[in-house]
Structure 1
C-alpha cells in the first residue's frame, strides 16, 4: 500500500486543527528522519532571529573549509563543490536573497584568496564564473535600493578577480 502524497495546502489545513502538543510531537518526529530537517529546525529555532550572526557564522564555516582545501586542482574542485552545496543549503534555510548574495560574494572572495591561480584546470575556473554569473542574476532581481547596496561589493569582487586571475575578464560580467 502506497502512501498518498498530499499538497502543502492540504497539510496546512490539517496542521491548523492540531493542538500544540500534537504539533510538537509531529515536528520532533519529522526532525528524527533527516539530518537536513534537524538543521533547518535548529536554524528556525535558534538563528532565524539574528540574520547578521547567521551570516557571520556561515562565512566563518565557509572560510574554514577553504583554509583546509587541498592543493591538487581535482581535489580542490571537489571541495569547492562541497562548499557550494553548503552555501546553497544555508541560503535555502534563510530564504533570503540578501543572505544568498552575501554568502556567494564571500565564497568568491575566499576563492580568490585560497585557490591556486596558476592552475589551468577548467572546472576550477567554471566554478568561479558560474558563481559570479549567479550573483549578477540575483542582484538584478532585487529592488533598486537593494541593488545599489550590493553593486559596490559585486564590482569590488570583479575588480579583484580581474587583478588576480589572468583568464578573468570583468567586462563580461559588469552589470
Structure 2
C-alpha cells in the first residue's frame, strides 16, 4: 500500500502545476470520494455565504431529528457525524458554536427523552463539552452572546 505524502510535500508538489493540471486533480478528487466532493462544494460554492451554510446545516439537523419525544442512539450518532463533518469543512469556531448550539436547543425544545440510555445522554453531554471548548477560542463579546444562547442547555440531562 502506498504511504500518503505529508501536507507540506503535497503543497510543494501542487505549487508549480499549471492551472489545467490543478483543475484535473480537483475533479479527480471529487469523483473519487463523496467527502472530497462535499468539501469542494463547500469551498467553491458555500464558503462565501457562511450564514446560508449554517442555516442549511441547521435545517438538515432539524429535519433529521424526530418529532417524537424519543430518539434512537443510531439516529443521534448519524446526526452528530453529519454535523461534525459540516463543522470540519467550515473550520470556523463561530459556525461550530451556532451549529452545535442549534442541535442542543432542538433536543431541549423537542423535549427528547433519553430514558435509561446513558449512551444518548452522553452524546448530548459531549456536545455541551465541545461547545464549552470552542467558546474559549472566540472573542469575549461573542462568548457572552453564545453563553446567553446556552442558558438551560447544560442542565437538560443532568
How high is the TM-score relative to the length of structure 1? 0.81
Contact 2:100–2:131 at 8 Å: present in 1 too? Answer: yes
2:67 and 2:110 in contact (8 A); partners too: no
31-40 or 108-117: bigger deviation: 108-117
**Equivalent residue, structure 2, for 1:113:** 109
1:99 aligns with 2:98: no
2:7 corresponding residue in structure 1: 8
Structure 1 residue 122: Cα displacement: 1.4
Kept after mapping to 2: 8 A contact 1:58/1:103:
yes
d(CA) in 2 for partners of 1:139, 1:124: 23
| Higher Rg | 1
1:67 partner SS: coil
Distance 1:42 1:116 in 2: 33
CA distance in 1 between counterparts of 2:68 and 2:46 reads 27
1:124 aligns with 2:120: yes
Cα distance in 1 for residues equivalent to 2:109 and 2:85: 23
CA deviation digits over 1:77-133, x for unaligned, max 9? 110111000010000000111111111000101112335337232112112111112
Could you tell me which residue of structure 2 aligns to residue 54 of structure 1? Answer: 53
Range with greater deviation from structure 2 (24-33 or 135-144): 135-144
Tell me how large the CA RMSD over aligned residues is: 2.0
Deviation, structure 1 residue 134: 1.5
In structure 1, C-alpha distance between the alignment counterparts of 2:114 and 2:4, rounded to whole Å? 51
**Which of the pair is proportionally richer in helix?**
1
1:20-35 superposed matches below 5 A = 20-35=19-34
- Structure 1 residue runs of 5 or longer lacking an equivalent are 169-175
Quick check: 1:69–1:79 contact (8 Å CA) kept in 2? Answer: no
Show structure 2 runs of 5+ residues with no match: none
Q: TM-score, normalised by structure 2?
A: 0.89
Q: CA deviation at 1:39?
A: 0.5
2:74 is aligned, of 62, 75, 78, to 78
Provide the aligned length of Structure 1 versus Structure 2. 158
